[in-house]
Structure 1
């Protein structure tokens, strides 16, 4: 006996089929969304890195898409790692490479405003040790945006370590290794060349930050200039003092520098003006008009170009010294 399907039975069956189909689609879509969400969470967690910074703080790094860099060396390293496009703002000292100048300026590294830094909505702040003032850094450390304080040391090894640290922060370890290895090779070659200079033939080179009214502001111990003079094989005759200090006429005359090193970041120093200073007039450097002027950030930045700057300064101090050759810095 065959049962006839009435229109009512047929419509009910179709409704059940459509309901079942929609339910299946809903459940499938829900399952797919859950898989995607879980995958995103896993990727996000996997992307997070914990970095110990110069202050000993454990900083959890998530996104590095929007970075504020504080310190010319930090900015240079980020660009060298090919991540310059992630920088959304930088401090006033970050003037290299030239394209960094197009980024918004959040102020001088030692006179920062926490509100100003946070106003650009960064994912991450990377600041060199010594940035300040202290209250601003404390506020930034207490904000929800991670801030990593990078050690400020002044040696070849410390620059290499700084490159590796920033590469780890950005997830660019392979590029960081290449830059670090290249720097290690350069510093070693330069050190080998300078080791051939007898101690009694090392040039006494004094760094003069400025000549305010003819009074030199000279670099003593524990300064970037003192470290750079040492890297280039020179001797700083003002190393008995700490930091940058005004030097008396008597002190500089007694120091008897053979070379004066200055910055030409804003203008090129005039040897006639420099050596007309009473503090320098009677020095061996004045007798020979031995003045070396170099770009300030290049000379004192202690970033990826420091090996090049040290070699250039060594060449200025010792023109006849056989120094290693490598491609010129950009």
Structure 2
């Protein structure tokens, strides 16, 4: 009888031990390791926040301006051209996000050497490109709740006013009167102008070129479009109207100078539909 009782105790102890091991294993498997994310692109930052990752973002670049309080919880690392590997490493990131245009090859090589996980995304400034950006970021984090963000873009694009005659819009990038550039073809400004139902006043060249009185006369825009910060740097609408040649354009004669937040206008992130709608409305006034 004593032998039977002793055997019972041994079996009971073994079962208890096995159960404890199973519980311990379950605990480990259910433990979610929190990411420590650095985002070096404003549109990616917006996307990460929209996907519920705000509390995991520990560092951002200068273009990450939305949501407006992002730099209260994440360290502002500045412009990508001036960010050091040391400043990034000090934040102990588990993953770094950037677009293929955000970091140079040598900086990328340094980060890879430091064995930090890099997610380099090719950004296309189109509606489909915005949707792809959302999907790529979501899947990199094993998230499947991105479809609603893509659908929101389509919802925002509904109800845009169709113009009988598409207004000609000239985007001017300004940093005071000393730095004035106009956006040509294959620029984010060109793309969002087209999405909003208008047309870029300049199509003769790609990228940006300095603004000249001749280009103003040749393009003769109906509207001047600027970043809000750019308009402020010119001293407001009155300052823009003082640019040589402006007063001879339809935009100048009718004082049609409009401005939008830079990240919203050119970001092509989750808010691209909202940006197109806002621009469409401004062009309808």
Structure 1: distance between partners of 2:246 and 2:110: 45
Matched, 1:167 2:138: yes
Alignment equivalent of 2:277, drawn from 292, 311, 316:
311
Q: Which has the larger radius of gyration?
A: 1
Paired position in structure 2 for 1:258: 222
- In structure 1, stretches of 5+ residues that fail to align are 1-12, 48-62, 320-330
Q: What SS is found at the alignment partner of 2:200?
A: coil
| Deviation for aligned residue 1:171 | 2.6
Paired position in structure 2 for 1:230: 194
Contact kept? 1:206, 1:257, Cα under 8 Å: yes
Contact kept? 2:175, 2:230, Cα under 8 Å: no
Structure 1 residues 267 and 255: alpha-carbon distance in aligned structure 2, compared to 1, 3 A threshold:
closer
Question: What RMSD, in angstroms, separates the aligned Cα atoms of the two structures?
Answer: 2.9
| Deviation for aligned residue 1:279 | 3.5
Q: What SS is found at the alignment partner of 2:97?
A: strand
Structure 1 residues 144 and 32: alpha-carbon distance in aligned structure 2, compared to 1, 3 A threshold:
farther
Contact kept? 1:127, 1:150, Cα under 8 Å: yes
| Deviation for aligned residue 1:23 | 11
Paired position in structure 2 for 1:117: 88
Contact kept? 2:58, 2:75, Cα under 8 Å: yes
Contact kept? 1:214, 1:278, Cα under 8 Å: no
| Deviation for aligned residue 1:234 | 1.6
TM-score w.r.t. length of structure 2: 0.86
Structure 2: distance between partners of 1:43 and 1:150: 30
Structure 2: distance between partners of 1:239 and 1:133: 29
Paired position in structure 2 for 1:197: 163
Q: What SS is found at the alignment partner of 2:120?
A: strand
Paired position in structure 2 for 1:281: 247
Deviation by residue 1:119-163 (Cα, 9 ceiling, x = unmatched): 211111111221123211222234322111122111111111111
| Deviation for aligned residue 1:240 | 1.6
| Deviation for aligned residue 1:41 | 7.9
Matched, 1:148 2:116: no
Contact kept? 2:226, 2:260, Cα under 8 Å: yes
TM-score w.r.t. length of structure 1: 0.75
Structure 1 residues 280 and 64: alpha-carbon distance in aligned structure 2, compared to 1, 3 A threshold:
farther
Structure 2: distance between partners of 1:148 and 1:173: 18
More displaced, 136-145 or 155-164?
Answer: 136-145
